[in-house]
Amino acid sequence: MLENISTAKVAGGWHKQYSHSASSTRCTMRFAVFLPPGASETNKVPVLYWLSGLTCTDENFMQKAGAFKKAAELGIAIVAPDTSPRGDNVPNEDSYDFAQGAGFYLNATKAPYNTHFNMYDYVVNELPALIEQHFPVTDKKAISGHSMGGHGALMIALKNPQSYTSASAFSPIVNPMACPWGVKAFTGYLGDDKTTWAHYDTCELMQQAEQANYLPMLISQGDADNFLEEQLKPQNLVDIANTKAYPLQLEMHAGYDHSYFFISSFIDQHLLFHHQFLSA
């Protein structure tokens, strides 16, 4: 049962927040949806799924990215889930980069997190089924995200190439097995066996990708991002893409940092990138 939390008209369309009881995460989850003007049961529209970064909720992108005008113009719905399960019964840590607010879009296998932290199943299976059941959208979808959410978007697209038309990311964590954020999260959620980590690492997944399953990908990265060298490491993915002739485009932007000022500056480009494949 969906519970409508808020509704606001914007750019001729509607932004709405909902909560629901999720079977994959065994708790109440929240998501936001933007429906462009004209979306109806007789005029269903494609969807861009947006995955946010550490400490974020569904609200950060919807309130700060400035995506609605271009999405309305292009006729694209946007769905933004929360970044993790939440609630009094959900395990948490006194840390911004692990547990609540930091689900890393994987299925945890290590107790106590394996009960609730199944964000991969939620994003890939449960949420799209819910959206397609209750909203005027087609089954055509693209995926994008920022930082931890950029990791999620690229990783999910590589693991499910038949489910998405395209993938993009802002400042993504492309090689979590090789950076402090990823090592902490993977150890805590998956344990010490690094062969299981590889199932959620974009670099490892691209290395294994077959050409028949290639998806167009766009990455935007600011060169003034404080996390660029230690956490994000985009060149690691670019090197693999070049070796495999994978259709990945990395755009470096001088002076931009890791914030939503950067995202809002280039979100229209990402929407146009996805539109060409969603409308094909």
Q: For 94-139, what is each residue's pLDDT tens digit? A: 999 999 999 999 999 999 999 999 999 999 999 999 999 999 999 9
Helix (H) or strand (E) holding 78: strand 77-81
Looking at 225, 270, 274, 275, which residue is catalytic? Answer: 225
Looking at 116, 258, 274, 275, which residue is catalytic? Answer: 258
Helix (H) or strand (E) holding 220: strand 217-222
**Contact by Cβ (8 Å): 30, 58:** yes
Confidence of residue 160 (pLDDT cuts 50, 70, 90): very high
Q: What is the pLDDT of residue 109?
A: 98
Across residues 241-251, what is the average pLDDT?
Answer: 98
φ, ψ at 250 (rounded to 5°): -105, 125
Q: Specify whether 147 is catalytic.
A: yes
The residue type of 118 is N
Q: Specify whether 24 is catalytic.
A: no
Q: What is the pLDDT of residue 56?
A: 98
Q: Please give the mean pLDDT across all residues of the chain.
A: 98
Across residues 249-253, what is the average pLDDT?
Answer: 98
Confidence of residue 276 (pLDDT cuts 50, 70, 90): very high
- Percent over 90 (pLDDT), the chain: 99
Residue bearing tokens 């959900």: 90
Q: For 38-65, what is each residue's pLDDT tens digit? A: 999 999 999 999 999 999 999 999 999 9
Q: What is the pLDDT of residue 158?
A: 98
Assign residue 241 a region (left: φ > 0; alpha: ψ between -120 and 50; beta: otherwise).
alpha
Q: What is the pLDDT of residue 26?
A: 98
Confidence of residue 196 (pLDDT cuts 50, 70, 90): very high
Identify which of 259, 271, 279, 269 has the alpha carbon closest to the alpha carbon of residue 60: 259
Q: What is the pTM of this model?
A: 0.98
Q: For 3-46, what is each residue's pLDDT tens digit? A: 999 999 999 999 999 999 999 999 999 999 999 999 999 999 99
Q: Specify whether 270 is catalytic.
A: no
Looking at 52, 147, 171, 220, which residue is catalytic? Answer: 147
Q: What is the pLDDT of residue 115?
A: 98
Q: What is the pLDDT of residue 246?
A: 98
- H helix count then E strand count, the chain: 10, 9
